[in-house]
Amino acid sequence: MLSISSSPASFSPSLQLLILLSRLELSMEQEKSALTLCQQIDDWTQVSRQAQRRFVLPLIFQHLRRLAPENLPLDQLKAMKCQCIGVVQHNLLAISAQRKLVQELLQPLGISHLFFKGYSLAARYYDDPVVRFSRDIDVLLPRNRMVELLEVALDKGYLPHDPKGLETDRTSLAFLGRVQGVITLMSPQGVVVEFHQRIDNTGTIYNTEELLSTAEFVAFGDVEIPVMPTAELFVYICLHHTKHHWSHLHWLVDLDAIQRHPSFDLNDVYACAEKRNLTETVKATLELYKALASPNPGSQPMSAHGRQLLGSCLAALEGDYEVEQALSRSRVTPDFSFAWQTNRWHWLRWKFFGWLRIFRPSYADYRDWPLPVGRQWLYRPLRPWRELSRRLASSRR
């Protein structure tokens, strides 16, 4: 893991610049630091490539166009603008797909739902929502409406994305809804939509029905969509992005955008965090945000938790996908990357029930060996042996 006791000069000026610019507005001190870093950059193509990889290209372009560093060639700025047009076009397509999802599926069926992250977050907290890139649309639904939604969506031209090879009869869809917490379809517009039955992996932190009943409505083009209250959303992104070690810079922008919004109240955030037993996660995240606002992250006093989170974040940002995966394999539970995030009860509960996962069937079991409802209990005792057979067969190839 990257040592944060060393100077941030241990990684490239381009990455230092991107981290500093990953916020909606810059202070005068940040602008001066950014221009100093710009003077050290001789490959602006690398800046564009890293910004696109970390999902902040349009925002970085806006900052650089306004800062106008002397050593940024005009042709490089124009090339960056052309790349931004592609990102914005994708975003506009996805925003349109989300509105159609509401108007053509969720509202006509009368299904309670909640949008979180992505475009719904940008619509509420960003001055210019189209600069916020997202790969997919995330929507939370009650489990008892999932089969109905899938039937209608598939009939209207949505395609299975995860799992692929989905059988569309009711028995198949009902089985899928029981064994898979997130079901992914491709919209007719070519946008990935993730249908969640819960927003945490273990289901011990959040209650879906409670989240749906406490949603607030915000304008999303010509429709209104349900979203989390600001404090709840802020606590959730602290949890979710810490789980992924803050490996994408648009998550840092989200953190900045929400704190700038008039609805943000730190007291409400801490009250919500205490209710969810996530206070330490929120505290460490706020330390991370403050540290990354400095041109020299880690130079200021930090708690041990904040410093550990900063270290894993910098390691993930400097590394590649394999580094992020390696960090993820060290999670103490599916929801928490660090032991200090959770209490002993949560950890012991996971250790006690986690071993039962070997008996949990997947949709692949049904696809390979479809059984009627009355015999589907056979998947559980046979699951370890079927998984072992699959792995042995794979190793022989």
Mean pLDDT by 10 residues, the chain (397 residues): 44 92 97 97 95 97 97 96 96 96 98 96 95 96 97 98 95 96 97 98 92 97 96 98 95 98 98 97 98 87 95 90 82 91 78 74 92 93 78 64
Distances in Å between the Cα of 381 and the Cα atoms of 116, 377, 389 are 36, 8, 14
Q: What domain count does the chain have?
A: 1
Which token pair is 72?
A: 């940024």
Output the pLDDT for position 349.
73
For residue 169, tell me if it sits in a domain: no
DSSP secondary structure string for all residues of 107-129: HHHT---EE-SHHHHHHHH-SSG
* Residue 55 counted as domain residue: yes
- For every residue of 23-57, DSSP letters joined together read SSS--HHHHHHHHHHHTT---HHHHHHHHHHTT-H
Does the residue 29 lie in any domain? yes
**pTM for this predicted structure:** 0.92
Task: Report pLDDT for 157.
Answer: 97
C-beta separation of 133 from 52 below 8 A: no
Read off the pLDDT of residues 34-53 as tens digits, 9 standing for 90 and up: 999 999 999 999 999 999 99
| Domain-located, residue 186 | no
Q: CA-CA distance, 186 to 119, in Å (whole number)?
A: 16
Question: What is the domain range of residue 263?
Answer: 8-142+197-360
- Residue 120 lies inside a defined structural domain of this protein: yes
Q: CA torsion, points 214, 219, 221, 226, in degrees to nearest 10?
A: 0
- Whether 95 is covered by a domain: the verdict is yes
Is residue 373 in some structural domain? no
- Measured CA to CA, the distance from residue 170 to residue 176 in angstroms comes to 10
Q: What's the pLDDT score for residue 388?
A: 73
3-state secondary structure of 32: helix
* DSSP 3-state of 280: helix
Distance of CA 379 to the CA centre of its chain: 32
Confidence at residue 393, expressed as pLDDT on a 0 to 100 scale: 65
Note whether residue 148 is domain-resident: no
The three-class DSSP label of residue 189 is coil
For position 391, what pLDDT does the model report? 67
